[in-house]
Structure 1
Amino acid sequence: MSHDGVGSRAVLRATAFLTAGALAVPLLAGCGSDDKAGRPLAGPDIAHVTRDKVAEGGTVKWAMDALPETLNAYQADADAGTTRVAQATLPSMFQLDANGRPAVNPAYLESAKVIETEPRQVVLYKLNQQAVWSDGREIGAADFVAQWRALSGKDSAYWTARNAGYDRISKIERGASDLQVRVTFSRPYADWKSLFSPLYPKDVMGTPDAFNDGARRKLKTTAGPFRVDKVDTAGKDVVLTRNPRWWGQPAKLDEIVLHTVPRDERATALADGKVDVADVDASTAGRITGAAGGTGSPLVGGGKTSAKKLRSWALAHGLEAEKVEHAGQKKLRKAITRYLEEQDGLRSYEVRKSLEPAYTQLALNGAGGLLADERVRRAVARALDRKELARLVLTPLGLPAEPVGSHLALEGQPAYADNSDALGGQDTKEAQALLSDAGWVPGGPVKEEKKGDKAAGPESSTKGDDDQSEGGKDGEYIVGEDDKNTDGKNEHGDGSGRHLAQDGKQYTGQGGAPGAYAPKGTAAPAGAVNGPLAKDGQALNLRFVLPTGAGSETLNTVAGRISAMLEKVGIRTTVIKVPDESYFKDHIAAGDFDLALYSWPASAFPATDARPIFAKPAPAADGSVNVEQNYTRVGTDQVDQLFDQAASTLDEDESRDLIRKADTRIWAAAGSIPLYQRPQLVGVRKTLVNTGAFGFQAPVYEDMGFLKKGAKVSPSPTKS
């Protein structure tokens, strides 16, 4: 899980608030077995060439967000760096193809299939006879057994992050030969292809000490085209070198160095040649693209260019405002000179782009407060124009701008179907009718708050004894109609609201006609004073919590547009900015938000991987509530049952249809509103091939390298 621009891993939910059967939503909507999953909206963009065009040798420096805390992918603090190391150095029985579907990995498997279903499900793995660990030992049943025992959940001494699937295995045996592994399940398991990927050697999985600590900073035994040479904690590097015992096509590169570079420093790192490939945000991608065409310089005229003109040029070209707004001419010229030098360095790079196998959603916290009412959540959803939001993010990047129609799969994957009709599209009148039915009426009085009162959640930015605010808390701003133009932008022009609180201006939404409320659901009479929607003396105002770090600009822009859409139906929002490091732990996971934006990856195994994200919160033995990864705190028994059924059937068509039914119910509950597939933008040295924006497809590390002199890259047939 992540918000745009920030790496992630899942963590840990409060009481469920849906009334079973309250919605007249057909359970089978959008779930016919003949539905087509379609093709991915965007394919890989990796400058693909055949191996004969790739030069031998060389080192690729690849940016990562942070030095991995662990090299054990089954621990809770594993991250994207952990995954990258595992992909290059460890076996995966199945890997994803360009459509996001699991396919047998021939480097390790000849075949894998269900050979028995009665009385128990049995899967037979036939291993590649050449597959060996880097210490020379054959990959075999002993490694499968050790991993099963470590991840089964039966031994609490193993500090595992997840046990799904492994807890259904009853035994693992050697088959007819050392190259065959028989896995017997105690209960049917549809997602058996998700298991043993990655597979660790028995010396990592064999004991709790080895599992918990042995593979955190080193990985002695591997079985991929690369091996872990060292983890340099001082330099914040992970160095991968060719594995001399690799039996497949030998790696073209001598080394891959995973180097820690913060997101906001990647343009500089690329320009200075410190990295060859890096995931970048839209602004850095724009700099790389712009560098190819050359950047005009304002440093002309023998120093006669005014500071005002230099400042204007600097701001227009994306230089950080806090560094140039009050800088003198000397400092401005220095900053611009450095910028132009970087632009010159960026000419050696290009942007390769696709769509990540992940989607950004609007999360609605149903744990309590205003969004505990399903009608209010549905009104929020019906106020959104998801097509407009997708275009806002993706069209400027030249990527397909289609809203995501499923919580559980993305277009191209077998389980994908657009089930958003279970909730309905943008409809202002329907949203207003839902709010009216929930008792929220315009023009009603709002109780004046006393100091220390909380109006719209754990924090409030309403201050003082009248409508004139002296300015809210740092990072807070209540979005109101007076602050927007007709295009949804605030008066400062960017639609994000990110600097409004610092202006000392704040719209509280107080006021309205005096008098008693009309009966629930009664519309405001003609000529009533225009005021906030209110109920029981409380204004309809939602706390919109957002991160502030590098890479969050897109989320802030999207949030500004969402706030404008909500305002049109009478819902006001208080934007609250929080540091990246506390965004998930202290706000999303803790339930301290009404609205939030963050992303979930799309799995090839949604019955297993998506279940904890949408499971109904359940009371724990200590009196707390276990929310697993369902940070919206919205769940139903029906959804839980559908996930369980989908995970327990071996009929792939039936499992797919059950997943689509579950998605229909999730849409109807309106706890999570998928918006758009996340853009994947990668700055890559132009001479580096077979790497870049992979989309769904698993990287082939042994084919990566530098283009031979004289060779050319053909346009990718899958690039959109």
Structure 2
Amino acid sequence: MRRSTVLATAAALSATLALAGCGSSGGDKAARKQAGPAADGQDINVRPLSDLKQGGSLRIGIEQWITQYNINQVDGQQGDAQSIISLVLPDLFTSDAKGAHHLNKDFLTSAKVVSTSPQVVEYELNPKARWSDGKPLSWRDFAAQWKALNGSDPAYEAVDTSGYDQISRVGKGKGEHGVRVTFDKPYADWQRLFDPLYPAAYIDSPKKFNSGWADRTPVSGGAFKLGTYDRTGQTITAVPDPKWWGARPKLDSIVFRVMDTRAKTDAYLNNEIDYTNAILPEDYKRLAKAKNTDIRRGARWDEVHITFNGAHGALKDVRVRNALQAAIDRKGINTSFAKDLGFELRTLDSHFFMPNQEGYRKNSGSYATYDPGKAKKLLDAAGWKGADGATRSRGGQKLVLDYVLDADAVSSAVDQAQIVQQQLGAVGVRVDIKKVPANDFFNKYVNTGNFDLVSFRNVDQVYLSMAYATYRQPRGRNLFQNFGSVGSPKVDELLTKAARTTDRTESVRLYNEADREIWKLGHSFMLYQRPQVYAVRAGLANFGAEGLADRDYLKVGWVK
């Protein structure tokens, strides 16, 4: 469930680059709330494997049909794709509840920095580790992934080259199963590279990399493999791979079923899926009363924001983007969403850290302060004139922006779009809400920069350098993950320095300095940290709100 390239892309993105927003507003006096979950907060019904029965199925609802299983390619960044691929490909390192990274011994017997000048990392692969085509994992897989992701050949449609572009050589290490990676510049987050690992034979050309993983996985290398793809029934089924060399999974199958987000609560109550989000008040009230159901809460790296597109139209002007920042009232949005939550919702003033993380600083300054008067002055200065209550214009052109919204969006996302529409309208900016099909939302709109305003979530940014692709300047048609194309040489320089700094204190300082510049640029408008609140079948163990930890499907199962 983590985003392994940025942000997760989610990677990464979701479960997700997923829509989120505020709940319905109301006038009830807010009850006193508990503090949010701690940084290492998780709730997964921990049980020893001896308590679990062998067999059974886990049914999971996902946002859309997966069209790209190469998560290092832009269309593979949808979060469900990342969740599924982490199940079937080698995951070299896993994160615990505190966000610390550990060797996955099913794939590696060791991995360590053996030199700092230059930085050299040596990996020792588990001799038992094999791809499903029978070939052993080898240094050639590492070399092919480096070639595809280092940015030297633009024919590879790589979503994020950070880290890989600092490697000077990948070669054979000590012995038959060794890998030696040499960096020309230090890279602090080296553990996030090659994770997951893709097989050389299936990514060693631009054609294979870009389209060889479309709609299906040509090969696997994990405890599970994808057994069936039922596009008619909109289900993807993972089953244990009989060639797996590690501990036997408890589950017989994991079924991923595409469904409308708004239908998931009913699907859970009708016993069609085994867990679902319970964060929205209208869902929580129904799910909390369901039989044999746990409400599990955790503190995930999960942020809700609005992206501004600076590539075209009025938003190319930073003054207009700054005006939008001043015109949007975060307090109103966040209060509306959190009205019925049982614990505090944390307003977010950083693009890199969650409020419950070490290193968090409030870097938004005046750029997140609600000030309609300031917004009007900025718009006037940019040449967009208009009387109160009227849409502004310049040179005969109206100031009209589209806010792209998933047609299947939950009520909170619709509420958020409508609140933003109302707030921006108050300063003379007309916002048209443009609903698009769920399966097109990321692939045809977000990923291609086909929007003025859009809201989604970035999740599981467990390595700080994962953010680079989101804030770096695009190169040609490659937006990386900077879908709004807002960036600067200064931000690129700061993020590059931060990624090369192995001193944690100095690295945190550089990321916070970059964050202040990102707020000034009007790249995106952070709203809040979204907590995990899930309804889960009570008999399901080692599963639920993992927080900063990776989900370990080898340990997931049903209590006897």
The normalised TM-score by structure 1 is: 0.64
User: Is the partner of 1:664 in helix, strand or coil?
Assistant: helix
Q: CA deviation at 1:662?
A: 0.6
The aligned counterpart of 2:107 is 108
1: CA distance, partners of 2:156 / 2:398: 47
Aligned-pair CA distance for 1:693:
2.8
Q: 1:70 to 1:104 in 2, by over 3 A?
A: same
Q: 1:438-587 maps to which residues of 2 (within 5 A)?
A: 532=390, 542-547=400-405, 549-566=407-424, 570-581=427-438
Q: Which amino acid aligns with 2:518?
A: I
**In 2, Cα distance between equivalents of 1:579 and 1:666:** 28
Q: 1:499-522 CA deviation, whole Å, 9 max, x = no partner? A: xxxxxxxxxxxxx6xxxxxxxxxx
How far apart are 1:253 and its partner, in Å? 1.5
1:645 to 492, 497, 514: 497
Is 1:422–1:667's contact at 8 Å kept on the other side of the alignment? Answer: no
| Inter-CA distance 427–104: structure 2 relative to 1 (3 Å threshold) | farther
1:97-133, Cα deviation, whole Å (9 max, x unpaired): 3244544334333442322232x32111234455454
| 71-80 or 423-432: bigger deviation | 423-432
Are residue 405 (structure 1) and residue 405 (structure 2) matched?
no
Shift of 1:196: 1.1
Equivalence map 1:356-395=2 (5 Å):
356-367=300-311, 370-395=314-339
> Which of residues 345, 353, 369 is equivalent to 1:425?
369
- Letter matched to residue 499 of structure 2: A
Secondary structure of residue in 2 paired with 1:390: helix
2-structure distance, mates of 1:531, 1:211: 51
Cα separation, 1, equivalents of 2:363 and 2:212: 45
Q: 1:192 to 1:237 in 2, by over 3 A?
A: same
Question: In the alignment, which residue of structure 2 is the partner of 1:330?
Answer: none
Distance 1:222 1:371, change over 3 A: closer
Alignment partners' CA distance in 2, 1:223 and 1:594 = 40
The C-alpha deviation readout for 1:151-173, integer Å capped at 9, x for no partner, is 44556775655444334333223
Q: Distance in 2 between matches of 1:176 and 1:432?
A: 65
Q: Distance in 2 between matches of 1:165 and 1:121?
A: 12
For 1:597, the aligned partner's letter is S
Counterpart of 2:342, as a letter, is: G
How far does residue 234 in structure 1 lie from its aligned partner after superposition?
Answer: 4.4
Alignment check: 8 A CA contact 2:119 2:182 kept: yes
Q: Is 1:195 the equivalent of 2:193?
A: yes
Whole-Å Cα distance in 2 between the matches of residues 185 and 533 of structure 1?
54
Q: Which residue is 1:240 aligned to?
A: 238
Return closer, same or farther for 1:386/1:111 CA change in 2, 3 Å cut-off. Answer: farther
Aligned length: 531
Q: CA deviation at 1:634?
A: 2.9
Alpha-carbon separation, structure 2, partners of 1:136 and 1:186: 34
Q: CA–CA distance in 2 between the matches of 1:384 and 1:398?
A: 25
Residue from 640, 658, 661 that aligns with 2:513: 661
- CA pair 590-130 structure 1, distance change in 2 beyond 3 A: closer
Query: Which residue does 1:476 correspond to in 2?
Result: none
Give the match for residue 97 of structure 1. Answer: 96
Mapped to 2, the partners of 1:88 and 1:122 lie a distance apart of 29
2:525 matched residue in structure 1: 673
Q: Is the 8 A contact 2:238 2:253 kept in 1?
A: yes
Describe the SS at the equivalent of 2:529: strand
How far the C-alpha of 1:439 sits from its partner, in A, is: 6.9
Asked whether the 8 Å contact 2:16–2:459 carries over to 1, the reply is no
Counterparts of 1:5-24 in structure 2, within 5 Å, are none
Change (3 A) 1:583 1:270: closer
Shift of 1:675: 0.4
Letter in 2 for 1:693: A
What SS is found at the alignment partner of 2:527? strand
Question: What is the Cα deviation at residue 705 of structure 1?
Answer: 0.8
Q: What is the alpha-carbon distance in structure 2 between the residues aligned to residue 113 and residue 213 of structure 1? A: 33
User: Are 1:695 and 2:552 counterparts?
Assistant: no
Letter in 2 for 1:687: G
Asked whether the equivalents of residues 288 and 351 of structure 1 are also in contact (C-alpha less than 8 Å), the reply is no
Query: Closer, same or farther in 2 for the Cα pair 1:116/1:288, shift >3 Å?
Result: same
1:76–1:664 distance in 2 versus 1, CA, 3 Å? closer
Distance 1:71 1:535 in 2: 44
Q: 2: CA distance between counterparts of 1:264 and 1:147?
A: 38
Measure, in 2, the Cα distance between the counterparts of 1:158 and 1:531.
49
Identify the range of structure 1 (695-704 vs 585-594) with the bigger mean alpha-carbon deviation.
Answer: 585-594
SS at match of 2:352: coil
1:359 to partner: Cα distance: 1.7
Structure 2 equivalent of residue 46 of structure 1 = 44
- The 8 Å contact of residues 305 and 455 in structure 2, kept in 1 or not, is answered as yes
Alpha-carbon distance between aligned partners in 1 of 2:458 and 2:395, rounded to the nearest angstrom: 37
2:75 is paired with a residue whose SS is: coil
Rg larger in structure: 1
* Contact preservation (8 Å) 2:403, 2:417: no
Structure 1 or 2: larger strand share? 2
CA contact (8 A) 2:37 2:297 kept: no
Q: Label 1:54 to 1:240 Cα distance change in 2 as closer, same or farther (>3 A).
A: same
Distance 1:158 1:664 in 2: 32
For residue 62 of structure 1, what is the aligned residue in structure 2?
Answer: 60
Residues in 2 aligned to 1:351 and 1:236: alpha-carbon distance in whole angstroms: 27
> Residue 701 of structure 1: CA displacement?
0.4
The secondary structure found in structure 1 opposite 2:412 is helix
Extract unaligned runs of 5+ from structure 2.
1-8, 19-35
Q: Which residue of 1 aligns with 2:122?
A: 124
**Aligned counterpart, 2:27:** none
Do the aligned partners of 2:425 and 2:431 also contact (CA within 8 Å) in 1? no
Partner of 1:694, secondary structure, is coil
The separation in 1 between residues aligned to 2:322 and 2:98, in whole angstroms, is 32
Q: Is the 8 A contact 1:544 1:574 kept in 2?
A: yes
Label 1:212 to 1:39 Cα distance change in 2 as closer, same or farther (>3 A). Answer: same
> CA 1:181–1:586 in structure 2 vs 1: closer, same or farther (change >3 Å)?
closer
- In structure 2, what residue type is equivalent to 1:92? D
For residue 324 of structure 2, what is the amino acid of its counterpart?
A: V
- In 1: Cα distance, 2:395 partner to 2:215 partner: 57
Separation in 1 of the partners of 2:470 and 2:75? 18
CA contact (8 A) 1:404 1:677 kept: yes
Q: What do the CA deviations read for 1:609-663 (whole angstroms, capped 9, x no partner)?
A: 4333223456x4xxxx765443434322211211222233343433332221111
For residues 400-444 of structure 1, give each alpha carbon's deviation from its aligned partner in whole angstroms, at most 9, with x where no partner exists. Answer: 311112112324555543212263533456556656666778xxx
Cα offset for 1:61? 1.9
Tell me the secondary structure at the aligned position of residue 291 of structure 2. Answer: helix
Match of 1:600 in 2: 458
Letter in 2 for 1:577: K
Letter in 2 for 1:196: F
Contact 1:288 1:350 in 2 (8 A): no
Measured in 2, the distance between the counterparts of 1:617 and 1:626 equals: 6
Matched, 1:229 2:224: no
1:613 aligns with 2:465: no
Taking a change above 3 Å as real, the CA distance of residues 595 and 349 of structure 1, as seen in their structure-2 partners, is same
C-alpha contact 1:542 1:595 (8 A) present in aligned 2: no
When residues 413 and 89 of structure 1 are mapped into structure 2, their CA distance, relative to the original with a 3 A threshold, is farther
Q: Does 1:251 align with 2:103?
A: no
Q: Distance in 1 between matches of 2:395 and 2:159?
A: 45
2:182 maps to amino acid: T
Give the secondary structure class of the aligned counterpart of 1:610. helix
Q: Cα gap change, 1:546/1:552 in structure 2, threshold over 3 Å: closer, same or farther?
A: farther
> Taking structure 1 as reference, are residues 96 and 533 closer, same or farther at Cα in structure 2, changes over 3 Å only?
same
Contact in 2 for aligned 1:63/1:258 (Cα 8 Å): yes
Q: Is 2:29 aligned against 1:172?
A: no
What SS is found at the alignment partner of 2:122?
strand
Q: How much does 1:699 deviate?
A: 0.3
* Residue identity matched to 2:486: V
- Report 1:708-719 matches (<5 A): 708=560
